[in-house]
């Protein structure tokens, strides 16, 4: 079985909600954006420290994945984390789930979510990230695709669990 399920998608695709649903199914789950905000502050501070921050974050994620035998689930847009995803895929550790959502629905969700929990609550920033993820995801290998506008987080988590190789 894969050591980590990677929930790959743009802001508003349901990564956090599905990660929490996977946790209820026995997967290890940690919301990394909260850790990032606690460690580096807001998105602008993170960007100023990006050269040191990303390697530190990636090393912490790798340690966390390796810390237990229970499969982990992590979320990413796949943009800044592309080197980490490449490393996890090369090691055969990752089961990559691409979460798909329309731009309109993603932005509706971003507007409705709790403020201060994510790296950016700015609608236009999230719109630009949505577009960047669409371009980057086209070349990323995925094991499963889920349209999160069509299924609940609970159903998505069940599909992921059922799709994982034994």
Q: What is the CATH number of the domain that holds 67?
A: 3.40.50.300
Tell me which of 37-46, 66-75, 135-144, 153-162 is least confident: 37-46
- Contacts (Cβ under 8 Å, ≥6 apart) of 158: 25
Q: What is the pLDDT of residue 1?
A: 65
Give the whole-number percent of the chain exceeding pLDDT 70: 99
Burial degree of 124 (CB within 10 A; 0-12, 13-18, 19+): exposed
pLDDT tens per residue, range 58-81: 999 999 999 999 999 999 998 888
> Would you say residue 122 has pLDDT above 90?
no
Q: What is the value of pTM for the model shown?
A: 0.91
Domain count, the chain: 1
Please count the helices (runs of H) and the strands (runs of E) in the chain.
8, 5
Range of the domain at 146: 4-163
Closest CA to 12 of 124, 82, 103: 103
Q: What is the pLDDT of residue 53?
A: 83
Structure tokens at 20: 């929490």
Closest CA to 19 of 10, 6, 3: 6
């Amino acid at each position: 079985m894969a050591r980590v399920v990677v929930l790959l998608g743009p802001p508003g695709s349901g990564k956090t909600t599905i990660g929490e649903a996977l946790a209820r199914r026995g997967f290890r789950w940690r919301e990394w954006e909260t850790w990032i905000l606690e460690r580096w502050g807001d998105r602008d501070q993170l960007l100023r420290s990006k050269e040191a921050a990303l390697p530190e974050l990636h090393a912490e994620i790798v340690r966390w994945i390796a810390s237990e035998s229970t499969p982990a689930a992590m979320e990413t847009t796949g943009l800044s984390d592309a080197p980490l995803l490449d490393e996890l895929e090369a090691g055969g550790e990752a089961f990559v789930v691409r979460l798909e959502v329309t731009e309109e629905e993603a932005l509706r969700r971003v507007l409705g979510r709790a403020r201060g929990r994510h790296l950016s609550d700015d609608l236009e920033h999230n719109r630009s990230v949505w577009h960047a993820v669409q371009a980057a995801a086209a070349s990323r290998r995925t094991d499963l695709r889920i349209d999160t506008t069509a299924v609940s987080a609970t159903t998505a988590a069940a599909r992921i669990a059922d799709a994982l190789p034994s």
